[in-house]
Copies of this chain bind each other. A is one copy, B any other.
Amino acid sequence: MCDFPKNEDNTVKRNPDRGHYDKPTIYNILDEAMICHIGLIHREKPVVIPTIFARKNDHLYIHGATTSRLLLELQKGLPISLCVTHLDGLVLARSAFDHSMNYRSVVINGKAFLVEDENEKKDALHCISERLIKGRWDEVRPPSEKEMKATTVLRIEIETASAKIRSGPPSDNPEDYQLDIWAGVLPSSLHWGTPEADPKLKKGINQPGSVTAFYKK
């Protein structure tokens, strides 16, 4: 079964042709993102907070300080909404009305659970690290016992999920194509600039394999 069930919570109603419910599409969008925006209800109000995350199989992991308000709140098993958005371009149509954006977004509805098992916790942190920059984990000083205690990891179990994608050129009203107005797409993407070594770097330390590989992607 490769699709998430469609229900009232996740069905894309506006522009339904942009909605996707299959795991490969949803997971590809999630796996390309480094941050997500998590929504929860706190003291009867919605709160949205950005955070790093990673997916492993059908779960997502987030982490933070054991003292974090977000994490303390979330581990109560409250419902959460998690959103990831990639901006792929501005879509310039011939009419103001048909201007749009190219994007790929995913909205997850689920619940967060405290990861209590030490092995799962270490594995989740490794997974988040590898997501951000592959190979880095093995190059650095691993977490101490004290650092592990200061870190909380939550596992997000997905209940429903949907992706929404817009791509391609503008879609104008048929009669607008005859107007003498330029139309097209201004494509956008996340760009990685040249690595900046820490000014306090010890002499004689070369750029590591993880960084070189990161830029070869």
Question: Does the CB pair B188–A190 fall under 8 Å?
Answer: yes
Is A94 an interface residue when CB atoms closer than 8 A count as contact? yes
B residues near A67, Cβ cutoff 8 Å: 13-14
Q: What is the chain B residue whose CB lies nearest that of A179?
A: B141
Majority DSSP secondary structure for residues of A touching B: mixed
Q: How large is the interface on A (under 10, 10 to 19, 20 to 34, 35 or more residues)?
A: 35 or more
* Chain A residues close to B by CB (< 8 Å): 8-9, 13-14, 34-35, 37-41, 43, 45-50, 52, 64-65, 67-69, 79-83, 85, 87, 89-90, 92-97, 99, 101, 103, 105, 107, 109, 125, 129, 132-133, 136-137, 139-144, 147, 150-151, 169-170, 176-202, 205-208, 210-211, 214
Question: Does the CB pair B205–A180 fall under 8 Å?
Answer: yes
Question: Does the CB pair B34–A41 fall under 8 Å?
Answer: no
Question: Does the CB pair B13–A143 fall under 8 Å?
Answer: no
